[in-house]
Protein backbone atom coordinates (compact mmCIF):
# COMPACT_ATOMS: atom_id res chain seq x y z
CA UNK A 1 0.00 0.00 0.00
CA UNK A 2 0.89 3.67 0.24
CA UNK A 3 2.87 3.14 3.43
CA UNK A 4 5.08 0.48 1.87
CA UNK A 5 5.56 2.62 -1.25
CA UNK A 6 6.70 5.49 0.96
CA UNK A 7 9.25 3.16 2.58
CA UNK A 8 10.61 2.22 -0.84
CA UNK A 9 10.91 5.87 -1.88
CA UNK A 10 12.70 6.71 1.36
CA UNK A 11 15.09 3.79 0.83
CA UNK A 12 15.89 4.92 -2.71
CA UNK A 13 16.65 8.41 -1.44
CA UNK A 14 19.21 6.99 0.99
CA UNK A 15 20.54 4.15 -1.11
CA UNK A 16 24.16 5.20 -0.52
CA UNK A 17 23.73 4.59 3.20
CA UNK A 18 21.94 1.31 2.50
CA UNK A 19 24.98 0.05 0.61
CA UNK A 20 27.01 0.58 3.79
CA UNK A 21 24.50 -1.09 6.09
CA UNK A 22 25.80 -4.14 7.94
CA UNK A 23 25.23 -6.96 8.36
CA UNK A 24 24.07 -7.60 4.81
CA UNK A 25 21.29 -9.77 6.21
CA UNK A 26 19.79 -6.75 8.00
CA UNK A 27 17.56 -5.48 5.18
CA UNK A 28 13.95 -5.68 6.47
CA UNK A 29 12.45 -4.00 3.41
CA UNK A 30 13.76 -6.80 1.20
CA UNK A 31 11.94 -9.47 3.20
CA UNK A 32 8.83 -8.67 1.20
CA UNK A 33 10.17 -6.95 -1.92
CA UNK A 34 13.05 -9.28 -2.80
CA UNK A 35 13.17 -12.35 -0.54
CA UNK A 36 15.47 -14.10 -3.01
CA UNK A 37 18.21 -11.71 -1.84
CA UNK A 38 18.42 -13.67 1.41
CA UNK A 39 18.62 -16.94 -0.54
CA UNK A 40 21.64 -15.55 -2.34
CA UNK A 41 23.32 -14.65 0.94
CA UNK A 42 22.53 -18.10 2.34
CA UNK A 43 24.45 -19.73 -0.53
CA UNK A 44 27.88 -18.05 -0.61
CA UNK A 45 29.45 -20.95 -2.53
CA UNK A 46 28.63 -22.48 -5.91
CA UNK A 47 26.26 -25.24 -4.83
CA UNK A 48 23.09 -26.94 -6.09
CA UNK A 49 21.11 -23.74 -5.53
CA UNK A 50 23.20 -21.94 -8.16
CA UNK A 51 23.65 -24.97 -10.43
CA UNK A 52 19.89 -25.24 -10.84
CA UNK A 53 19.74 -21.93 -12.73
CA UNK A 54 23.23 -21.66 -14.24
CA UNK A 55 23.10 -21.73 -18.08
CA UNK A 56 26.55 -23.28 -18.19
CA UNK A 57 25.21 -26.43 -16.54
CA UNK A 58 22.82 -27.16 -19.42
CA UNK A 59 24.20 -25.93 -22.76
CA UNK A 60 23.88 -29.46 -24.15
CA UNK A 61 20.14 -29.35 -23.49
CA UNK A 62 19.57 -26.06 -25.35
CA UNK A 63 18.73 -26.70 -28.99
CA UNK A 64 17.72 -23.16 -30.02
CA UNK A 65 20.40 -20.63 -31.04
CA UNK A 66 20.74 -17.22 -29.40
CA UNK A 67 21.62 -13.71 -30.48
CA UNK A 68 23.73 -12.55 -27.52
CA UNK A 69 23.94 -8.78 -26.98
CA UNK A 70 25.85 -6.85 -24.36
CA UNK A 71 27.98 -3.80 -23.65
CA UNK A 72 31.57 -3.22 -22.60
CA UNK A 73 30.19 -1.48 -19.50
CA UNK A 74 27.34 -3.93 -18.87
CA UNK A 75 27.72 -5.75 -15.56
CA UNK A 76 26.33 -8.91 -17.24
CA UNK A 77 28.98 -8.94 -20.00
CA UNK A 78 30.84 -11.91 -18.52
CA UNK A 79 27.73 -14.08 -18.77
CA UNK A 80 26.90 -12.80 -22.27
CA UNK A 81 30.32 -13.84 -23.56
CA UNK A 82 30.33 -17.13 -21.63
CA UNK A 83 26.97 -18.09 -23.12
CA UNK A 84 28.13 -17.34 -26.66
CA UNK A 85 31.32 -19.38 -26.25
CA UNK A 86 29.57 -22.17 -24.35
CA UNK A 87 26.78 -22.56 -26.88
CA UNK A 88 29.20 -22.43 -29.85
CA UNK A 89 31.10 -25.32 -28.29
CA UNK A 90 28.43 -27.33 -26.45
CA UNK A 91 25.02 -26.32 -27.81
CA UNK A 92 22.45 -29.14 -28.05
CA UNK A 93 22.02 -28.97 -31.83
CA UNK A 94 24.06 -28.10 -34.90
CA UNK A 95 21.85 -25.08 -35.42
CA UNK A 96 22.35 -23.93 -31.83
CA UNK A 97 26.11 -24.12 -32.29
CA UNK A 98 26.37 -22.58 -35.76
CA UNK A 99 23.83 -19.75 -35.43
CA UNK A 100 25.15 -18.16 -32.25
CA UNK A 101 25.73 -14.42 -32.66
CA UNK A 102 27.56 -12.01 -30.36
CA UNK A 103 27.14 -8.23 -30.44
CA UNK A 104 28.95 -5.94 -27.97
CA UNK A 105 28.67 -2.16 -28.06
CA UNK A 106 30.04 0.71 -25.95
CA UNK A 107 27.03 0.46 -23.68
CA UNK A 108 26.09 -0.15 -20.06
CA UNK A 109 23.12 -2.30 -19.06
CA UNK A 110 19.99 -1.11 -20.87
CA UNK A 111 20.70 1.97 -23.01
CA UNK A 112 22.33 1.43 -26.41
CA UNK A 113 23.19 5.02 -27.26
CA UNK A 114 26.96 4.94 -26.72
CA UNK A 115 27.23 8.00 -24.50
CA UNK A 116 28.12 8.51 -20.86
CA UNK A 117 28.43 11.62 -18.66
CA UNK A 118 32.19 11.83 -19.29
CA UNK A 119 32.48 10.18 -22.72
CA UNK A 120 30.60 9.95 -26.00
CA UNK A 121 31.54 7.34 -28.58
CA UNK A 122 29.84 9.24 -31.39
CA UNK A 123 26.77 8.75 -33.54
CA UNK A 124 28.12 5.48 -34.95
CA UNK A 125 28.07 3.86 -31.51
CA UNK A 126 24.29 3.68 -31.19
CA UNK A 127 21.91 0.88 -32.08
CA UNK A 128 20.78 2.51 -35.33
CA UNK A 129 24.30 2.82 -36.71
CA UNK A 130 25.00 -0.76 -35.65
CA UNK A 131 21.82 -1.85 -37.48
CA UNK A 132 20.68 -3.86 -34.47
CA UNK A 133 17.08 -3.98 -35.68
CA UNK A 134 18.08 -5.15 -39.15
CA UNK A 135 20.44 -7.71 -37.66
CA UNK A 136 17.71 -9.07 -35.41
CA UNK A 137 15.20 -9.27 -38.27
CA UNK A 138 17.65 -11.09 -40.55
CA UNK A 139 18.56 -13.48 -37.73
CA UNK A 140 14.92 -14.31 -36.95
CA UNK A 141 14.10 -14.65 -40.67
CA UNK A 142 16.83 -17.24 -40.96
CA UNK A 143 15.79 -19.05 -37.79
CA UNK A 144 12.00 -18.98 -38.20
CA UNK A 145 11.49 -18.71 -41.97
CA UNK A 146 14.52 -20.54 -43.23
CA UNK A 147 15.68 -17.51 -45.20
CA UNK A 148 19.40 -17.05 -45.68
CA UNK A 149 19.51 -13.26 -45.38
CA UNK A 150 21.73 -13.39 -42.29
CA UNK A 151 23.94 -16.22 -43.50
CA UNK A 152 26.55 -13.70 -44.66
CA UNK A 153 26.62 -11.87 -41.31
CA UNK A 154 29.76 -12.74 -39.37
CA UNK A 155 29.15 -14.34 -35.96
CA UNK A 156 30.66 -11.46 -33.97
CA UNK A 157 30.13 -7.69 -34.20
CA UNK A 158 32.14 -5.50 -31.82
CA UNK A 159 32.49 -1.79 -31.23
CA UNK A 160 36.18 -0.98 -30.79
CA UNK A 161 36.67 1.96 -28.45
CA UNK A 162 39.53 4.32 -29.17
CA UNK A 163 39.04 3.73 -32.89
CA UNK A 164 35.30 4.25 -32.26
CA UNK A 165 34.20 1.90 -35.03
CA UNK A 166 32.30 -1.36 -35.52
CA UNK A 167 34.16 -4.47 -36.64
CA UNK A 168 32.82 -7.84 -37.76
CA UNK A 169 34.82 -10.87 -36.64
CA UNK A 170 34.81 -14.63 -37.22
CA UNK A 171 34.67 -15.73 -33.58
CA UNK A 172 35.39 -14.89 -29.95
CA UNK A 173 38.09 -14.77 -28.78
CA UNK A 174 39.42 -13.45 -32.11
CA UNK A 175 41.36 -16.28 -33.81
CA UNK A 176 44.46 -14.12 -34.38
CA UNK A 177 44.78 -12.96 -30.77
CA UNK A 178 48.32 -12.61 -29.43
CA UNK A 179 48.28 -12.77 -25.63
CA UNK A 180 51.02 -10.47 -24.34
CA UNK A 181 52.34 -10.38 -20.77
CA UNK A 182 52.85 -6.98 -19.18
CA UNK A 183 54.86 -7.55 -16.01
CA UNK A 184 54.42 -5.49 -12.86
CA UNK A 185 57.54 -3.57 -11.83
CA UNK A 186 58.29 -1.17 -8.98
CA UNK A 187 60.80 -0.35 -6.31
CA UNK A 188 58.14 -1.00 -3.69
CA UNK A 189 56.50 2.40 -4.09
CA UNK A 190 53.66 1.84 -6.57
CA UNK A 191 51.14 3.56 -4.28
CA UNK A 192 49.10 6.14 -6.28
CA UNK A 193 49.57 7.13 -9.91
CA UNK A 194 52.55 9.25 -8.77
CA UNK A 195 54.44 6.19 -7.55
CA UNK A 196 57.06 4.10 -9.32
CA UNK A 197 54.80 1.28 -10.54
CA UNK A 198 55.49 0.32 -14.15
CA UNK A 199 54.15 -2.13 -16.75
CA UNK A 200 56.79 -3.69 -18.99
CA UNK A 201 56.96 -6.64 -21.37
CA UNK A 202 60.18 -7.80 -19.71
CA UNK A 203 60.04 -9.95 -16.59
CA UNK A 204 60.44 -8.46 -13.13
CA UNK A 205 63.68 -8.48 -11.18
CA UNK A 206 64.03 -9.30 -7.51
CA UNK A 207 62.61 -6.08 -6.10
CA UNK A 208 60.62 -5.15 -2.99
CA UNK A 209 56.93 -5.96 -2.87
CA UNK A 210 54.27 -3.26 -2.75
CA UNK A 211 52.29 -2.97 0.49
CA UNK A 212 48.99 -1.28 1.24
CA UNK A 213 46.44 -1.26 4.04
CA UNK A 214 42.91 -2.30 3.16
CA UNK A 215 40.37 -0.93 5.64
CA UNK A 216 36.77 -2.00 4.91
CA UNK A 217 35.60 1.05 6.87
CA UNK A 218 37.12 3.22 4.12
CA UNK A 219 36.82 1.23 0.88
CA UNK A 220 37.92 2.46 -2.54
CA UNK A 221 34.81 4.08 -4.05
CA UNK A 222 33.38 2.81 -7.32
CA UNK A 223 34.06 5.32 -10.09
CA UNK A 224 32.44 4.19 -13.33
CA UNK A 225 32.88 0.76 -14.84
CA UNK A 226 30.22 -1.89 -15.46
CA UNK A 227 27.32 -0.95 -13.23
CA UNK A 228 23.56 -1.02 -13.61
CA UNK A 229 21.03 0.98 -15.65
CA UNK A 230 22.51 4.46 -16.18
CA UNK A 231 20.20 7.08 -14.76
CA UNK A 232 19.08 4.84 -11.91
CA UNK A 233 20.84 4.75 -8.53
CA UNK A 234 24.43 3.52 -8.84
CA UNK A 235 23.95 3.18 -12.60
CA UNK A 236 24.48 6.91 -12.98
CA UNK A 237 28.07 6.03 -12.07
CA UNK A 238 28.61 3.78 -15.11
CA UNK A 239 31.07 3.78 -17.96
CA UNK A 240 34.54 5.14 -18.73
CA UNK A 241 34.91 7.66 -15.94
CA UNK A 242 38.16 9.41 -15.02
CA UNK A 243 40.10 7.47 -12.36
CA UNK A 244 42.59 10.16 -11.35
CA UNK A 245 40.98 10.95 -8.01
CA UNK A 246 40.82 7.28 -7.01
CA UNK A 247 44.43 6.82 -8.14
CA UNK A 248 45.59 9.29 -5.46
CA UNK A 249 44.44 7.01 -2.64
CA UNK A 250 47.08 5.26 -0.56
CA UNK A 251 45.34 1.90 -0.89
CA UNK A 252 45.57 1.87 -4.70
CA UNK A 253 48.63 0.55 -6.53
CA UNK A 254 49.17 1.90 -10.05
CA UNK A 255 51.36 0.26 -12.68
CA UNK A 256 51.74 2.31 -15.87
CA UNK A 257 53.45 1.65 -19.20
CA UNK A 258 55.62 4.09 -21.10
CA UNK A 259 53.81 6.19 -23.73
CA UNK A 260 53.06 4.03 -26.76
CA UNK A 261 55.12 4.69 -29.90
CA UNK A 262 52.29 3.35 -32.06
CA UNK A 263 48.63 2.39 -31.56
CA UNK A 264 47.97 -0.85 -29.68
CA UNK A 265 44.74 -2.76 -30.37
CA UNK A 266 43.45 -4.83 -27.45
CA UNK A 267 40.37 -6.98 -28.13
CA UNK A 268 39.39 -9.97 -26.01
CA UNK A 269 39.54 -11.42 -22.50
CA UNK A 270 41.76 -9.61 -20.00
CA UNK A 271 43.47 -11.48 -17.15
CA UNK A 272 45.74 -10.63 -14.24
CA UNK A 273 48.11 -13.13 -12.67
CA UNK A 274 48.84 -11.65 -9.26
CA UNK A 275 51.20 -13.01 -6.64
CA UNK A 276 49.92 -11.66 -3.36
CA UNK A 277 49.87 -12.20 0.38
CA UNK A 278 47.76 -10.87 3.23
CA UNK A 279 47.76 -10.58 6.99
CA UNK A 280 44.12 -11.75 6.96
CA UNK A 281 42.58 -15.22 6.54
CA UNK A 282 40.53 -13.82 3.66
CA UNK A 283 40.57 -10.58 1.68
CA UNK A 284 39.79 -9.30 -1.80
CA UNK A 285 42.05 -8.20 -4.62
CA UNK A 286 40.67 -5.92 -7.30
CA UNK A 287 42.07 -4.86 -10.66
CA UNK A 288 41.18 -2.24 -13.22
CA UNK A 289 42.49 -1.67 -16.77
CA UNK A 290 42.84 2.03 -17.59
CA UNK A 291 43.63 4.00 -20.77
CA UNK A 292 45.75 7.06 -19.88
CA UNK A 293 45.77 9.95 -22.36
CA UNK A 294 48.71 12.37 -22.77
CA UNK A 295 46.82 15.01 -20.76
CA UNK A 296 46.48 12.58 -17.84
CA UNK A 297 42.84 11.58 -18.37
CA UNK A 298 42.57 8.02 -17.02
CA UNK A 299 39.54 6.20 -18.46
CA UNK A 300 38.47 2.90 -16.95
CA UNK A 301 38.00 0.14 -19.53
CA UNK A 302 37.20 -2.96 -17.49
CA UNK A 303 37.67 -4.34 -13.99
CA UNK A 304 37.59 -7.50 -11.91
CA UNK A 305 37.83 -8.92 -8.41
CA UNK A 306 38.84 -12.11 -6.64
CA UNK A 307 37.71 -13.02 -3.15
CA UNK A 308 40.81 -14.89 -2.04
CA UNK A 309 38.93 -17.74 -0.33
CA UNK A 310 37.64 -18.71 -3.81
CA UNK A 311 41.07 -18.68 -5.48
CA UNK A 312 40.92 -22.43 -6.19
CA UNK A 313 37.20 -23.14 -6.27
CA UNK A 314 33.85 -21.39 -5.97
CA UNK A 315 32.47 -24.58 -4.43
CA UNK A 316 35.16 -25.24 -1.83
CA UNK A 317 36.58 -22.03 -0.35
CA UNK A 318 39.80 -22.18 1.62
CA UNK A 319 41.36 -19.71 4.02
CA UNK A 320 44.62 -17.91 3.43
CA UNK A 321 47.65 -18.60 5.56
CA UNK A 322 48.65 -15.10 6.68
CA UNK A 323 51.92 -14.01 5.08
CA UNK A 324 52.04 -16.82 2.53
CA UNK A 325 52.37 -15.81 -1.13
CA UNK A 326 49.62 -17.14 -3.40
CA UNK A 327 49.19 -17.07 -7.16
CA UNK A 328 45.82 -15.42 -7.80
CA UNK A 329 44.11 -15.19 -11.17
CA UNK A 330 41.77 -12.24 -11.55
CA UNK A 331 39.31 -12.14 -14.44
CA UNK A 332 38.89 -8.61 -15.81
CA UNK A 333 36.26 -9.93 -18.26
CA UNK A 334 36.97 -8.28 -21.63
CA UNK A 335 37.38 -5.10 -23.64
CA UNK A 336 37.93 -3.81 -27.17
CA UNK A 337 40.07 -0.68 -27.23
CA UNK A 338 42.76 0.96 -29.32
CA UNK A 339 45.35 2.61 -27.09
CA UNK A 340 46.42 5.53 -29.28
CA UNK A 341 49.96 6.71 -29.91
CA UNK A 342 51.19 8.59 -26.85
CA UNK A 343 48.67 6.91 -24.55
CA UNK A 344 49.73 4.66 -21.69
CA UNK A 345 48.35 1.40 -20.34
CA UNK A 346 47.64 1.41 -16.62
CA UNK A 347 46.69 -1.30 -14.14
CA UNK A 348 45.15 -0.30 -10.81
CA UNK A 349 45.29 -2.88 -8.00
CA UNK A 350 43.55 -2.63 -4.64
CA UNK A 351 41.25 -4.63 -2.36
CA UNK A 352 37.89 -2.90 -2.79
CA UNK A 353 35.64 -1.29 -5.41
CA UNK A 354 32.59 -0.32 -3.40
CA UNK A 355 29.64 -0.51 -3.78
CA UNK A 356 30.12 -2.30 -7.11
CA UNK A 357 31.36 -5.20 -4.98
CA UNK A 358 30.47 -5.74 -1.34
CA UNK A 359 33.30 -5.27 1.12
CA UNK A 360 35.38 -8.16 2.40
CA UNK A 361 35.36 -7.91 6.19
CA UNK A 362 38.73 -9.74 6.31
CA UNK A 363 37.54 -12.05 9.10
CA UNK A 364 37.41 -15.24 7.06
CA UNK A 365 33.90 -15.87 8.39
CA UNK A 366 30.48 -15.57 6.77
CA UNK A 367 30.64 -12.06 5.32
CA UNK A 368 26.86 -11.66 5.13
CA UNK A 369 26.64 -12.06 8.91
CA UNK A 370 29.48 -9.70 9.84
CA UNK A 371 28.45 -6.41 11.43
CA UNK A 372 30.30 -3.09 11.81
CA UNK A 373 32.17 -4.29 14.88
CA UNK A 374 33.57 -7.26 12.95
CA UNK A 375 35.40 -5.24 10.30
CA UNK A 376 39.14 -5.91 10.33
CA UNK A 377 42.01 -4.20 8.54
CA UNK A 378 44.29 -6.23 6.28
CA UNK A 379 47.88 -5.55 5.27
CA UNK A 380 48.04 -6.75 1.67
CA UNK A 381 51.15 -7.22 -0.44
CA UNK A 382 51.70 -7.58 -4.18
CA UNK A 383 54.86 -9.47 -5.14
CA UNK A 384 56.64 -9.07 -8.48
CA UNK A 385 59.95 -10.92 -8.59
CA UNK A 386 61.61 -13.63 -10.65
CA UNK A 387 59.88 -16.25 -8.51
CA UNK A 388 56.59 -14.33 -8.40
CA UNK A 389 56.08 -12.80 -11.87
CA UNK A 390 52.86 -10.82 -11.44
CA UNK A 391 51.60 -9.86 -14.88
CA UNK A 392 48.70 -8.39 -16.80
CA UNK A 393 47.76 -10.51 -19.83
CA UNK A 394 46.36 -8.46 -22.71
CA UNK A 395 44.78 -9.83 -25.93
CA UNK A 396 46.67 -7.91 -28.62
CA UNK A 397 45.50 -7.82 -32.24
CA UNK A 398 48.17 -7.09 -34.86
CA UNK A 399 46.76 -6.33 -38.31
CATH number where 285 lies: 2.60.120.260
pLDDT tens-digit profile of 181-191?
999 999 999 99
My answer on whether 327 and 390 are in the same domain is yes
Closest residue by Cα to residue 269 from 116, 84, 100, 112: 84
Region 272-292 average pLDDT: 99
DSSP letter, residue 144:
I
Is 91 among the domain residues?
A: yes
Is 218 among the domain residues?
A: yes
DSSP reduced 3-state for 211:
strand
Higher pLDDT, 115 or 252: 252
As a whole number of angstroms, the distance between CA 112 and CA 318 comes to 41
Domain end residue (candidates: 137, 169, 201)? 169
DSSP reduced 3-state for 245:
coil
Phi and psi based region of residue 310 (left: phi greater than 0; alpha: psi -120 to 50; beta: remaining): alpha
* CATH assignment at residue 142: 3.40.50.1820
pLDDT at 231 over 60: no
Is 50 among the domain residues?
A: no
As a whole number of angstroms, the distance between CA 99 and CA 80 comes to 15
Q: Are 45 and 315 in contact (CB under 8 A)?
A: yes
How many CB atoms are located within 10 Å of the residue 167 CB? 16
pLDDT at 329 over 80: yes
Q: Which residues, 6+ apart, have CB-to-CB distance to 252 below 8 Å? A: 191, 192, 212, 220, 246, 348, 349, 350
As a whole number of angstroms, the distance between CA 158 and CA 190 comes to 34
The average confidence (pLDDT) of the chain is 94
- Whole-number pLDDT of residue 2: 76
Region 387-398 average pLDDT: 98
pLDDT confidence band for 151 (50 / 70 / 90): low
- Whole-number pLDDT of residue 238: 85
Find how far residue 341's CA is from the centre of its chain.
Answer: 25
My answer on whether 116 and 252 are in the same domain is no
Is 52 among the domain residues?
A: no
pLDDT at 172 over 90: yes
Q: Are 209 and 299 in contact (CB under 8 A)?
A: no
Q: Are 391 and 382 in contact (CB under 8 A)?
A: no
Find how far residue 320's CA is from the centre of its chain.
Answer: 24
Region 96-113 average pLDDT: 92
Q: Which residues, 6+ apart, have CB-to-CB distance to 3 below 8 Å? A: none
Buried/exposed code over 365-391 (b: 16+ C-beta within 10 A; e: otherwise): eebbebeeeebbebbbbbbbbeebbbb
Phi, psi values for residue 62, rounded to 5°: -100, 115
My answer on whether 100 and 232 are in the same domain is no
As a whole number of angstroms, the distance between CA 224 and CA 290 comes to 11
- Whole-number pLDDT of residue 236: 67
pLDDT at 206 over 90: no
- Whole-number pLDDT of residue 5: 74
My answer on whether 90 and 189 are in the same domain is no
pLDDT confidence band for 131 (50 / 70 / 90): confident
**DSSP per-residue codes, 264-330:** EEEEEEEEEEEEEEESSSS-EEEEEEEEE-TT--EEEEEEEEEEGGGSS-SSS-----TT--EEEEE
Higher pLDDT, 332 or 135: 332
Domain end residue (candidates: 140, 169, 198)? 169
pLDDT at 235 over 60: no
pLDDT tens-digit profile of 84-94?
999 999 999 99
- Whole-number pLDDT of residue 128: 85
pLDDT at 167 over 70: yes
Q: Which residues, 6+ apart, have CB-to-CB distance to 33 below 8 Å? A: 8
My answer on whether 79 and 220 are in the same domain is no
My answer on whether 215 and 297 are in the same domain is yes
Domain end residue (candidates: 121, 147, 169)? 169
Closest residue by Cα to residue 117 from 296, 282, 299: 299
pLDDT at 232 over 90: no
Percent of the chain whose pLDDT exceeds 70: 97
Provide the residue range defining the domain that includes 15: 2-42
Is 55 among the domain residues?
A: no
- Whole-number pLDDT of residue 205: 84
pLDDT at 350 over 90: yes
Is 6 among the domain residues?
A: yes
As a whole number of angstroms, the distance between CA 257 and CA 342 comes to 11
pTM listed for this prediction: 0.95
My answer on whether 93 and 215 are in the same domain is no
Region 335-341 average pLDDT: 99
- Whole-number pLDDT of residue 163: 97
My answer on whether 78 and 111 are in the same domain is yes
- Whole-number pLDDT of residue 241: 95
Least confident of 168-172, 235-239, 347-351, 384-388: 235-239
My answer on whether 247 and 382 are in the same domain is yes
pLDDT confidence band for 153 (50 / 70 / 90): confident
Long-range contacts of 373-379 (CB under 8 A, 24+ apart): 374/22, 375/22, 375/215, 375/216, 375/217, 376/216, 376/280, 377/213, 377/214, 377/215, 377/216, 378/213, 378/214, 378/278, 378/279, 378/280, 378/283, 378/351, 379/211, 379/212, 379/213, 379/214, 379/278, 379/279
My answer on whether 258 and 148 are in the same domain is no
Is 51 among the domain residues?
A: no
Is 49 among the domain residues?
A: no
My answer on whether 232 and 320 are in the same domain is yes
My answer on whether 155 and 201 are in the same domain is no
Phi, psi values for residue 56, rounded to 5°: -65, -15
- Whole-number pLDDT of residue 229: 58
Q: How many domains does the chain have?
A: 3
**DSSP per-residue codes, 160-206:** EBTTTEEEEESSSS-TT-EEEEEEEE-SS--BSTTS--EEESSPP-S
DSSP letter, residue 224:
S
- Whole-number pLDDT of residue 123: 87
C-alpha Rg value of the chain to the nearest Å: 22
Interior CA angle at 121 toward 70 and 106, to 5°?
Answer: 10
Amino acid sequence: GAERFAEVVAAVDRNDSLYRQLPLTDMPLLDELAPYYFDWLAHPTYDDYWRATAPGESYEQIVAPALNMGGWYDLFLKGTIANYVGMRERGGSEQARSMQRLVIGPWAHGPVAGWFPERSYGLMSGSDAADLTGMQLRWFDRLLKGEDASATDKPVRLFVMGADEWRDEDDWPLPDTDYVDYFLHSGGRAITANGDGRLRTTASDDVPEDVFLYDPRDPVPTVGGPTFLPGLFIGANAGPRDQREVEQRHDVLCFTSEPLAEPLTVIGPVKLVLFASSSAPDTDFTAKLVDVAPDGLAEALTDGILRARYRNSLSEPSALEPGRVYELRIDLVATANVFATGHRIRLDVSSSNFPRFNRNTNTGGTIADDGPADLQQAVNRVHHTTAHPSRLVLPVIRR
